[in-house]
Chain A
């Protein structure tokens, strides 16, 4: 099995974008196009590629442990998890921003320089902690798993740290961005051992993909 290359891809739009890009260098998987399939693993036995559909936040784990050689995942997840992985390519799709946001009323007389002891709700406690620590601001972190925008509306926290692509969700909930922590795009990640033990195949994939990626980032919707 070890001459196979296994990809871990996040279910959904990013998976489609990834396969579209891989298709340009001849990496395809007919099995994946079958409608209504609930399969999680797809194979292209002829080219010896295997594709796993997993949760985005699990992609780095599968790759770190070597269950997958290559993965595609947002930089937000990589920043949060800080795994021991290679990130050779910025794929430029899946663009969004990781921002600090707060309710509009709060923002009107708020000065970020005066922040101290603030309460922040987020899916990204590690990034948030590092970001505010670097600014010298003490934060009380509230880890949530979804609908972060709700937190300030019900008084769970004053501010949130979350991903924004078009800003529609924030606006609909009466929130505004106050600071950008990082610009996020999808990255190609590679298991450390795979890059060495399968360097011929993986190197070829990276080198063929690199020139196909333009300079412009794009939102994946």
Chain B
């Protein structure tokens, strides 16, 4: 094919993707595995709408996402509508309104898609698949630990081997930053340097700021406070302020619970991690798979969110980004996801009726079966079946005659008596003829 400079007329906007059967099967598998874990922990699914009033959803959207929402006019109401950029505010709204009469805590899970504007860069998704949970009405370390333990269990369930859940504490950072004489642009630059763990930049930015020595030591320590559980000890040595110390205690208790759950091996701590949506209020965390620079899941405590919808309750939750997860586990999933169908049934001339009956019968037995309806020779059908990932093809030559069963993977064939195959399906293939 010659390279052509013009785009095809049927192209897609940037940042959205079609998922063909091989990929779609994997995405579906991931979603099912996650939902099984959520169900095992007592979480029940809710389904949220794809359209919301912008002003309503915005009550609970962090600033970063407010700018990135798709919005448009509603002809019915004259108000602005949005396609949700995040599902957590939707769940918060539902919990605070429709479910407010129910006793707390609420354990809810969801799976859906959100849309976000992104910069025009390659590889950034605008259509994001979120699968996650929200735990509303519980505060305290055990609830935080439940989220982290569930995220770890979820990652194990989808077959991730090397991964870490990296825990941060928003209050710890706020405690350090409170009371520092940093305003406007400088505060932003300082936060950005901490985010990039750029110690030399941080030092340079603070050089001319009047700070007491302990306060300076606190903030300069932030880019290096990452690692295993020992980070808490290192942090306790430098941090004096009350709010940060309380945050450390809190974190210590969460880690204690995680130790009981036996998942501490998968936990790291990063007290200089400020990424995350800005509605978080305490423990936050992100899941990383070895080698993939972006988080596959993220979550944390958001105690002020439901109050935006008129019902104050502590809450925590997390969400998986299915595309990131799929990207990271793509080849691992080959083993667990078989997108193939079991059987293609080919009918010799004049044998439509038995072929159709056989297809019905085998479907009842639980096999995935398709009929090769096209009039063509068996070689062409076999070629088709192999290309389309069928495992077997059966050639039906009549109820009196044996069925030729072709194993498309092994490239072997055998004859099986009609009755035997009709009754036992593919289980008949090992029986002696």
Which A residues fall within an 8 A CB radius of B?
2, 63-67, 84-90, 187, 190-200, 203, 210
Contacts and interface: CB of A to CB of B under 8 A. Distances in A.
Contacts of A90: 198, 200-201
A88 B199 contact: yes
A203 B227 contact: yes
Contacts of A193: 164, 288-294
Nearest to B163: A197
Contacts of A192: 288, 293-295
Contacts of A84: 293-294
B268 interface: yes
Interface of B: 162-164, 166, 196-201, 223-224, 226-228, 268, 270, 288-295
Contacts of B270: 196
Interface centre among A66, A192, A196, A210 (most CB of B within 10 A): A196
B164 A197 contact: yes
B196 A66 contact: no
B166 A66 contact: no
Given A196-B166, A197-B164, A199-B228, A86 B290 contact: no
Given A87-B201, A90-B198, 14 more contacts: A64-B293, A66-B290, A85-B196, A86-B197, A88-B197, A192-B294, A192-B295, A193-B291, A194-B291, A196-B166, A196-B288, A197-B162, A198-B290, A200-B227
Contact of A89 (B199, B227, B295): B199
Nearest to A195: B226
B196 A86 contact: yes
Given A2-B162, A199-B228, A203-B227, A66 B268 contact: no
Contacts of B226: 195-196, 199, 203
B265 to A, nearest CB: 12
A94 to B, nearest CB: 14
B293 A66 contact: yes
Contacts, number: 77
A86 B201 CA distance: 12
Contacts of B288: 192-193, 196-197
A204 to B, nearest CB: 10
A88 B223 contact: yes
Contacts of B268: 196-197, 199
Nearest to B291: A66
A211 B278 CA distance: 35
A192 B226 CA distance: 12
Given A196-B270, A197-B163, A199-B226, A2 B198 contact: no
A2 B227 contact: no
B42 to A, nearest CB: 29
Contacts of A196: 164, 166, 226, 268, 270, 288
A86 B222 CA distance: 13
The list of the 10 closest CB pairs from A to B, nearest first, reads: A66-B291, A90-B200, A193-B288, A86-B197, A87-B198, A88-B197, A197-B290, A196-B166, A87-B196, A196-B164
5 contacts: A63-B293, A192-B295, A193-B293, A196-B166, A199-B228
Nearest to A185: B200
Contacts of A87: 196-198, 201
A164 B289 CA distance: 40
